[in-house]
Chain A
Amino acid sequence: MKVIFERPKSLNDKEFTYCPGCHHGIIHRLIAEVIDELNIQDRTIMVAPVGCSVFAYEFFDVDGTVAPHGRALAVATGIKKALPDSVVFTYQGDGDLASIGIAETIHAANRGEKLTTIFVNNAVYGMTGGQMAPTTLLGQKTTTSPRGRNVENEGFPLHVSELLSTIPGVAYLERTAVSSPRDILNTKKAIKKAFLAQLKGLGFGLVEVLSTCPTNWKMTPVEAQKWLLENMTKEFPPRLFIDKVGD
Chain B
Amino acid sequence: MKKIMMKGNEAIAESAIRAGCRLYFAYPITPQSEIAEYMAKRLPEVGGVFLQTESEVATVNMVYGAACTGKRVMTSTSSPGFSLMQEGISYIAGAELPCVFVNVVRGGPGLGNIQPSQGDYFQAVKGGGHGDYRLIVLAPSTVQEAVDLTQLAFDLADEYRNPVLVLADGMIGQMMEPVELPPVRDLSTLPDHSDWALTGAKNREPHRIAAFNIDPVGLEQMNIRYQEKYRRIEDKEQRWEEYRADDVEYLMVGYGTVGRILKSVVDELREEKLPVGLFRPVTLWPFPQKRLGEISERVKCIFVVEMSSGQMVEDVKLSVNGKVPVYFYGRMGGIVPTPEEICLAFKEVIR
Residues of A at under 8 Å CB distance from B? 41-45, 47-48, 54, 57-58, 60-68, 71, 74-83, 86-87, 103-104, 107
Contacts and interface: CB of A to CB of B under 8 A. Distances in A.
B168 interface: no
B89 to A, nearest CB: 10
A89 B199 CA distance: 13
Can you list the 10 inter-chain pairs with the closest CB atoms, starting with the nearest?
A78-B65, A74-B61, A43-B200, A78-B62, A78-B66, A75-B65, A42-B202, A71-B61, A66-B210, A82-B69
A57 B208 contact: yes
A77 B54 contact: no
B200 A71 contact: no
Given A71-B58, A78-B61, 16 more contacts: A45-B198, A45-B200, A63-B200, A66-B211, A74-B61, A74-B62, A74-B64, A75-B65, A79-B65, A80-B65, A81-B23, A81-B25, A82-B66, A82-B71, A86-B200, A104-B58
Contacts of B179: none
Interface in B40-66: 49, 51, 53-55, 57-59, 61-66
A79 B69 contact: yes
Contacts of B199: 45, 63, 83, 86
B201 interface: yes
Nearest to B64: A75
Contacts of A86: 199-200
A76 B206 contact: no
B63 A78 contact: yes
B294 interface: no
A62 B201 contact: yes
A61 B204 CA distance: 11
Contact of A79 (B198, B202, B207): B198
Nearest to B95: A65
B91 A78 contact: no
Contacts of A54: 212
B25 A78 contact: yes
A75 B206 contact: no
B237 interface: no
Interface string B82-101: 00000110010001000000
A198 to B, nearest CB: 14
B307 interface: no
A45 B62 CA distance: 14
B203 interface: yes
Interface of B: 23, 25, 49, 51, 53-55, 57-59, 61-69, 71, 73, 87-88, 91, 95, 198-203, 206-212
Contacts of A64: 198, 206-209
B91 A68 contact: yes
B66 A81 contact: yes
Contacts of A47: 65
A64 B210 CA distance: 8
Contacts of A62: 200-201, 206
Contact of A82 (B53, B54, B65, B210): B65
Contacts of B53: 74, 107
B33 to A, nearest CB: 19
A80 B61 CA distance: 12
A78 B201 contact: no
A77 B202 contact: no
Contacts of B68: 45, 65, 75, 78-79, 82
Which one of B66, B71, B87, B211 has the greatest number of beta carbons of chain A within 10 Å? B66
Nearest to B24: A81
Contacts of B23: 78, 81-82
B54 A104 contact: yes
A65 B202 contact: no
B51 A77 contact: yes
B198 A65 contact: yes
Contact of A42 (B54, B61, B201): B201
Contacts of B210: 48, 57, 65-66
Most buried by B among A60, A79, A82: A82
A41 B58 contact: no
A231 B347 CA distance: 78
Contacts of A82: 23, 49, 65-66, 68-69, 71, 73
A61 B64 contact: no
Contact of A81 (B51, B58, B198): B51
B88 A68 contact: yes
Contacts of B55: 103
A48 to B, nearest CB: 8
